[in-house]
Amino acid sequence: MTHKVLEFRPDLHARVSAFGGRQILAPDVERLRLPLANAFLLGEPGQPWVLVDAGAPGSGPLILRAAQARYGTGARPEATVLAHGHLDHIGGLWGPLLQ
């Protein structure tokens, strides 16, 4: 198995806004800044993708907006991976994200 080595990119890291800010870490990894936690969208644009963490309650619309911008209208993850069951990582699953 070959591992990717990601380099720190100050030009990318410096431009993430507070809430809803998106940051491309690699061609298939995007970080989404949410209240209290981050979510990650894994997958190339336009391809099947995986959501890692869903943020605090109320984060669903921010996740959907970012996913639609990256993967297209109506995009839904193939899977969701949760780091752990605390509310700041699962709260965004309720509401629009599960519809």
**Per-residue pLDDT at 56:** 86
Q: What is the pTM of this model?
A: 0.77
pLDDT tens readout for residues 42-51 = 999 989 999 9
Cα separation, 19 vs 63, in Å, equals 11
Domains of the chain: 22-98 (3.60.15.10)
**Per-residue pLDDT at 45:** 93
Q: Which residue has the tokens 């198995």?
A: 1
CB 90 within 8 A of CB 54: yes
Q: Tens of pLDDT along the chain (99 residues)?
A: 566 665 655 555 545 556 678 888 899 999 998 888 889 999 999 899 999 998 888 888 889 999 999 999 988 899 989 888 877 778 888 765 666
